Amino acid sequence: MAQAQGLGKRYVKAFLKGFFVAVPVTVTFLDRVACVARVEGASMQPSLNPGGRQASDVVLLNHWSIRNYDVQRGDIVSLV
């Protein structure tokens, strides 16, 4: 029984250690490099959500290109 408790403590400790590393890395990545967003509604038709579908499209928003001023004609830009 004591051995199972020690094993459980090791798993919890390893999980917390990984959690406290993964969360800041993920937040930094989503803030500085790229993030995923859903496009809903008719504002971007016919490029996104063609045909008036009820489903939404998923796009990758590239923060890195905006930070480096690498925007070209024809790119879709999202403003918040």
Q: How many CB atoms lie within 10 A of CB 30?
A: 13
Rg (CA), the chain: 21
> pLDDT tens for residues 38-79?
887 777 777 777 776 677 788 888 888 888 888 888 887 777
Q: Is the pLDDT of residue 23 over 90?
A: yes
Distance CA 10, CA 13 (A): 5
Q: pLDDT value at position 1? A: 55
Has this prediction a pTM greater than 0.75? no
